[in-house]
């Protein structure tokens, strides 16, 4: 940990400003200060980074590599200060110099290199790996454009490009000399060598250079600095491309542009798989550069025969997006390391492990056979052989599954099924919450579970409590530490000691005060952003996540419309004022999701300005939901809305973040909500609605008729008619698709079915909230149990059960 004092830091800042920027503190901008401070932190980091790499090498430790198309790391200055033990003195130094630390931190652009849960999980995992002294590193893509920036214009989502690299990014180091060449297209020729082995030669391939940019990943005050390596696509030098210096090819700007496009932008869809060739190129680009890198490091560091790769290397693939790792590792082992098929297969299937993050069928990746064949001819040959051998093994060794071969084959009906490829090629397949893993085993991957029962295991997700509690909620962290000491920071499960105080009125009041202060801060932010005044004494009811039908933001806004209708009918109703806060991006091509955003904003524009309502109800849609915005909202949440149609949300992680900050969950028995329920008990959570079995039963056997509810429930009919008849101040057709989806497509996500139980859950919550002691007791109980969801716990489980890696001592 750094020994710097606030005064040292001030001096260093002054010096940096002069030497690197030529400005004095008195004239420095927040941005100048941001860069100067980042540079000081980097000076602290660099020697530790170098030391960490050396120590891993000296100790010969097995390494884990986390391959992911997404790393949603957000901002780094504040978390790097926190982890290097400099945050408090930095805040003090900045204040002394007349700067507001928050404004300085806000100068950093979010690294939005992810869509949502899967990308943020990868970032939390890196934090835990480093904090727990594990030799673990991330490999991803350095997209020039991250997830789009969302603006709301006249209630509609508008997408703007996120050119986050417009200004220099102080955390990355370009390592040109460590680049690799990646090959696409071309022809493969097969030759027999004298020893009978096969040699594959490529002709006319398109070569692309993968240049790494390294970002340090700091452990919490433990001197460890791991690496997140992001690949950037560039044209290769003409010599390497086999071209003349002044050839047309090399100077063809279109060609250069098409290469750079490979790391050009992040695909903004986290639900619908899109079969675009560029996406496939991105996937192979990530996989090939990372695996080449892993093999080179293995050879350089361990000097062991390649057959011992599984002793020193394990690769976790984050969903199926990097599942070309299976044939790519096979290719390198066979074509470059000259191993035979069986030996290569033995190694591959002991190095790769696969995590599944969704059971939504529309998200399951399959690629047209010809596309892979044309883009990656050698890889296609290998997949074809994997498929053939796998199908044969079923035919001969699992006769009972012969009929199922079309549903199991890696290549079927002209498409390559990536999840099947990942399962066959990995030694571990895990789901991300208990119920999710059970659904994989019993339904989605049932036959694979029969074939490989030992591969399947559960690893419930987690979140880093360092960012999501210590950093984002310093006030709450202080009150916790005053009560139970600071040990929970290194051992989050010790938050459980808070239970002893869950009836201590004085302490509960302190928690209440902190929540209220956080709500005031958020209320100010809301005012600043939207011009709307919200009552900081009202219940802050929060739903923040990607917009998707299965997540049911629609159910939430229907409830708001219901409350509004009730208040209009009876303005003097004695209700606790409520503020409903939404944050959500819709995939640009997801029409219905965008219509739901428009509906939320339309309801907001009516409710917020209706004098009859007298401020008892407010609806806030905060635009551009991202990691930094989550950090502002979560500490202020009272109610955490986790209302997905049961069976659909693999885990959820926002549920854990809000719980850890003292919000009480109102949700369905889905994903990790179930595990929250098991811990806190039925009195400390509001559960409603269909459970997963009931939902799956309806899907299989029918029996649900949404129109019956429309016909019999006046409250529901009123809402739907208001949508359909343009009561919300718009012409009739605006929300027709929502209306049709519910009544003509039979409400596929059971919004109407769960409507009444949802109302009841809200009524219970409102009643509980009125009794401050009851509520704060619930809130503190949730914080107490939340340590279980620290990603430290999750990473320990991955490390011992799957990766078999050791902490550095
Ligand atoms: C091919 C398009 C695509 C892109 C991303 C399909 C699917 C994805 C991800 C798998 C979607 C995702 O982020 N899933 C979420 O993963 C979280 C971390 O495990 C879980 O907590 C969420 O429940 C799950 O929806």
pLDDT in tens, 555-603: 999 999 999 999 999 999 999 999 999 999 999 999 999 999 999 999 9
Tell me, yes or no, if 357 is annotated catalytic.
yes
CA 805 to CA 771: how far, in whole Å? Answer: 49
> What pLDDT does 454 receive?
98
Residue 438 in domain: no
Q: Is residue 547 domain-resident?
A: yes
Structure tokens at 460: 């419930």
Integer Cα distance of 633 and 624 in angstroms = 13
Distance CA 252, CA 250 (A): 6
| Residue range 602-651, pLDDT digits in tens | 999 999 999 999 899 999 999 999 999 999 999 999 999 999 999 999 99
pLDDT band at 216 (very low <50, low <70, confident <90, very high): very high
Centre of ligand 1 to C-alpha 750, Å, is 21
State the residue for tokens 């149609």.
645
Are the CB atoms for 387 and 409 separated by under 8 Å?
yes
The residue-averaged pLDDT of 4-26 equals 96
Strands (E), 28-176: 63-67, 71-74, 111-113, 136-141, 146-153, 156-162, 173-174
Kindly report the CATH number assigned to the domain that includes residue 649. Answer: 3.40.50.2000
Which pLDDT tens digit goes with each residue over 34-80?
Answer: 999 999 999 999 999 999 999 999 999 999 999 999 999 999 999 99
Residue among 123, 283, 319 whose CB has most ligand 1 atoms within 8 A, to mutate: 319
* Residue among 562, 580, 545 at smallest CA distance from 723: 562
pLDDT category, 696, cuts 50, 70, 90? Answer: very high
Active site residue 618: no
Rg (alpha carbons) of the chain, rounded to whole number: 27
Provide the token pair at 43. Answer: 């000076």
Residue 63 belongs to some domain of the structure:
no
Identify the pLDDT of residue 241: 65
Instruction: Tally the C-alpha atoms within 13 A of residue 453's C-alpha that lie toward its C-beta.
Output: 1
Are 636 and 664 in contact by the 8 Å Cβ rule? The answer is: no
pLDDT the model gives residue 722: 92
**110: Cα separation from own chain's centroid:** 14
Concerning whether 576 is annotated as a catalytic residue, the answer is no
Looking at the domain assignment, is residue 756 inside a domain?
Answer: yes
Residues 6+ apart with CB under 8 A from 99: 30, 33
Confidence of residue 234 (pLDDT cuts 50, 70, 90): very high
125 contacts: CB under 8 Å, gap ≥ 6? 66, 136, 791, 794, 795, 798
Which range of residues forms the domain containing residue 495? 472-691+752-791
Q: With helix as H, strand as E and coil as C, how does 640-688 read? A: EEECCCCCCCCCCCHHHHHHHCCCEEEECCCCCHHHHHHHHCHHHCEEC
CB 129 within 8 Å of CB 803: no
For the Cβ of 365 lying below 6 angstroms from any atom of ligand 1, the answer is yes
Q: How far apart are CA 573 and CA 613, in angstroms?
A: 10
In a domain, 649, yes or no: yes
Q: What is the pLDDT of residues 528-548, one digit of tens each?
A: 999 999 999 999 999 999 999
438 or 271, higher pLDDT: 438
Lowest mean pLDDT among 214-218, 686-690, 724-728, 781-785: 724-728
Give the model confidence (pLDDT) of 140-197 as tens digits: 999 999 999 999 999 999 999 999 999 999 999 999 999 999 999 999 999 998 888 8
DSSP β-bridge partners for residue 67 = 139, 317
Mean of all residue pLDDT scores within the chain: 96
E strand residue ranges, 478-593: 539-544, 578-583
Q: Is the pLDDT of residue 251 over 70?
A: no
Q: Among residues 441, 548, 657, 753, which one is catalytic? A: 657
- State the average pLDDT over residues 725-741: 77
Q: Are 126 and 228 in contact (CB under 8 A)?
A: yes
Residue 357 belongs to a domain: no
Residue 768 buriedness (CB in 10 A; 0-12 / 13-18 / 19+): middle
Sheet order of strands, 578-583 included: 617-621, 578-583, 539-544, 639-642, 664-667, 686-687
48, 137, 546, 594: the catalytic one is 546
User: To test ligand 1's pocket by mutation, which of 270, 316, 468, 676 has the most ligand atoms within 8 angstroms of CB?
Assistant: 270
* pLDDT confidence tier of residue 250, bands split at 50, 70 and 90: low
In a domain, 532, yes or no: yes
At 177 the pLDDT is 97
Closest ligand 1 atom to Cα of 365: 1
Per-residue pLDDT tens over the stretch 301-321:
999 999 999 999 999 999 999
Whether 705 maps to a domain, the answer reads no
Phi, psi of 59 (to 5 degrees): -90, -5
Cβ–Cβ under 8 Å, residues 269 and 363: no
User: What mean pLDDT is predicted for residues 109-121?
Assistant: 97
Residue 731: the pLDDT is 53
- Give the pLDDT score at 198: 87
546 given a catalytic annotation: yes
Number of domains in the chain: 1
Summarised one tens digit per residue, pLDDT across range 499-517 is 999 899 999 999 999 999 9
Active-site residue, 551 included:
yes
Q: Which of 62, 91, 321, 357 is catalytic?
A: 357
């Amino acid at each position: 940990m750094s020994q710097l004092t606030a005064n040292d830091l001030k001096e260093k800042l002054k010096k940096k400003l002069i030497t690197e920027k030529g400005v004095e503190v008195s004239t420095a901008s927040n941005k100048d200060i941001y860069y100067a401070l980042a540079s000081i932190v980097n000076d602290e980091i660099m020697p530790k980074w170098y030391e960490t790499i050396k120590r891993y090498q000296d100790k010969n430790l097995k390494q884990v590599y986390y391959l992911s198309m997404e790393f949603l790391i957000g901002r780094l200055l504040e978390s790097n200060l926190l982890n290097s033990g400099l945050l408090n003195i930095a805040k003090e130094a900045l204040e002394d110099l007349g700067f507001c630390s928050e404004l300085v931190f806000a100068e950093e652009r979010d690294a939005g290199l992810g869509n949502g849960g899967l990308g943020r999980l990868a970032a939390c995992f890196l934090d835990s790996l480093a904090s727990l002294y594990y030799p673990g590193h991330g490999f991803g893509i350095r997209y020039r454009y991250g997830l789009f920036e969302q603006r709301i214009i006249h209630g509609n989502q508008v997408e703007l490009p996120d050119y986050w690299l417009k200004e220099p990014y102080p955390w990355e180091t370009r390592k040109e000399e460590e680049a690799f060449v990646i090959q696409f297209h071309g022809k493969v020729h097969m030759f027999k060598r004298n020893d009978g082995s096969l040699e594959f030669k490529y002709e006319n391939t398109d070569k692309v250079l993968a240049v790494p940019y390294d970002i340090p990943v700091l452990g919490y005050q433990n001197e460890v600095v791991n690496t997140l390596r992001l690949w950037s696509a560039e044209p290769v030098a003409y010599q390497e491309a086999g071209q003349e210096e002044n050839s047309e090819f090399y100077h063809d700007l279109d060609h250069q542009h098409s290469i750079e496009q490979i790391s050009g932008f992040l695909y903004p869809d986290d639900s619908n798989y899109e079969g675009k060739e560029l996406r496939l190129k991105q996937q192979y680009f990530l996989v090939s550069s990372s695996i080449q890198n892993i093999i080179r490091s293995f050879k350089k560091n361990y000097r062991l025969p390649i057959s011992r790769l599984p002793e020193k290397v394990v690769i976790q693939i984050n969903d199926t997006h990097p599942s070309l790792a299976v044939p790519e590792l096979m290719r390198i082992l066979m074509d470059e390391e000259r191993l035979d098929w069986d030996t290569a297969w033995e190694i591959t299937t002991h190095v790769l492990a696969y995590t599944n993050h969704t059971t939504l069928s529309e998200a399951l990746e399959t690629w047209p056979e010809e596309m892979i064949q044309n883009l990656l001819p050698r890889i296609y040959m290998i997949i074809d052989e994997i498929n053939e051998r796998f199908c044969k093994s079923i035919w001969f060794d699992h006769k009972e599954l012969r009929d199922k071969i079309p549903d199991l084959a890696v290549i079927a009906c002209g498409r390559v099924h990536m999840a099947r490829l990942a399962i066959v090629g990995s030694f571990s397949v895990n789901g991300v919450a208990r119920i999710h893993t059970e659904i994989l085993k019993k339904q989605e991957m049932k036959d694979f579970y029969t074939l490989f029962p030992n591969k399947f295991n559960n690893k419930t997700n987690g979140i880093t409590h360092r960012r999501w509690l210590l950093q984002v909620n310093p006030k709450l962290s202080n009150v916790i530490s005053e009560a139970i000491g600071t040990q929970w920071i290194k051992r989050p499960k010790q938050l459980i000691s808070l239970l002893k105080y869950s009836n201590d009125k004085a302490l509960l009041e302190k928690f209440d005060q902190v929540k209220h202060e956080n709500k005031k801060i958020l209320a100010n932010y809301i005012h600043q952003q939207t011009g709307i005044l919200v009552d900081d004494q009202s219940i802050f009811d929060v739903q923040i996540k990607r917009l998707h039908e299965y997540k049911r933001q629609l159910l939430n806004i229907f409830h708001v419309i219901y409350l509004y209708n009730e208040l209009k009918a009876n303005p003097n109703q004695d209700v606790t004022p409520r503020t409903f806060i939404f944050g959500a991006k819709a995939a640009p091509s997801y029409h219905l999701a965008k219509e739901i955003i428009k509906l939320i904003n339309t309801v907001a524009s009516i409710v917020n300005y209706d004098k009859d309502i007298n401020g008892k109800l407010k609806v806030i849609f905060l635009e551009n939901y991202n990691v930094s915005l989550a950090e502002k909202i979560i500490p202020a949440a009272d109610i955490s809305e986790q209302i997905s149609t049961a069976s659909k949300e693999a885990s959820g992680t926002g549920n854990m973040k809000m719980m850890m900050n003292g919000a009480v969950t109102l949700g369905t028995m889905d994903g990790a909500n179930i595990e929250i329920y098991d811990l806190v008990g039925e009195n400390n959570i509001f559960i409603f609605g269909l459970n997963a079995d009931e939902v799956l039963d309806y899907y299989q056997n029918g029996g649900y008729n949404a129109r019956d509810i429309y016909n019999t429930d006046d409250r529901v009919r009123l809402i739907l008619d208001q949508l359909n008849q343009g009561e919300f101040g718009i012409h009739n057709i605006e929300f027709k698709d929502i209306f049709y989806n519910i009544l003509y497509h039979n409400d596929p996500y059971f919004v109407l079915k769960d409507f009444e139980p949802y109302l009841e859950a809200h009524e219970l919550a409102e009643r509980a909230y009125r009794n401050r002691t009851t509520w704060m007791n619930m809130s503190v109980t949730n914080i107490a149990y939340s340590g279980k969801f620290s990603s430290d716990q999750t990473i320990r489980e991955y490390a011992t059960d799957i990766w078999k890696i050791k902490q550095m001592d």
